[in-house]
Amino acid sequence: MIGAATAVNALLRTMGTTLVLSGLSIALNRTFTEATAHNPKLTTTLLNQISDAKALKNIPVNLIAPLRHTLFNGMHLLALISGLLLFNALFVNWLDPWKKSLE
């Protein structure tokens, strides 16, 4: 029974991690898509290059600030979503009726 429980626990933990990471990826991609739709000079290729120090030389100077701003907004969105998930997890653990007392 312990082996089966351990396997199910590992499976559920892996699936949960996968779902959270895919949700965060969707949120970041949505931020990038909105930025490229509002500014036709920004492309996803440029957004990928902004985080690479070597490729930064190939980006026009007037686009560096908007690209950094877009990346900054995307990272803030990820931090907000992660904070909300953390708050929800803490709240659920606080409400957990099966928690063991400190006796």
| Residue-wise pLDDT tens digits, 54-97 | 888 889 999 999 999 999 999 999 999 999 999 998 998 888 87
The answer to whether the beta carbons of residues 62 and 46 sit under 8 Å apart is no
> What is the DSSP-derived secondary structure letter of residue 84?
H
Per-residue pLDDT at 100 exceeds 80: no
User: In the structure encoding, which two tokens stand for residue 69, read together?
Assistant: 């701003």
Q: For residue 39, how many C-alpha atoms fall within 13 Å in the half-sphere facing its CB?
A: 17
Per-residue pLDDT at 19 exceeds 90: yes
* Boundaries of every domain in the chain: 22-89
* Segment 32-45, tens digit of pLDDT: 999 999 998 998 88
Rounded distance between C-alpha atoms, residue 51 and residue 44, angstroms? 12
Per-residue pLDDT at 51 exceeds 90: no
The answer to whether the beta carbons of residues 77 and 31 sit under 8 Å apart is yes
Per-residue model confidence (pLDDT) at position 57: 87
Per-residue model confidence (pLDDT) at position 101: 64
Identify the three-state secondary structure at position 96: coil
Per-residue pLDDT at 102 exceeds 70: no
User: In the structure encoding, which two tokens stand for residue 7, read together?
Assistant: 């396997």
Identify the three-state secondary structure at position 103: coil
What mean pLDDT is predicted for residues 17-32?
Answer: 93
pTM: 0.78
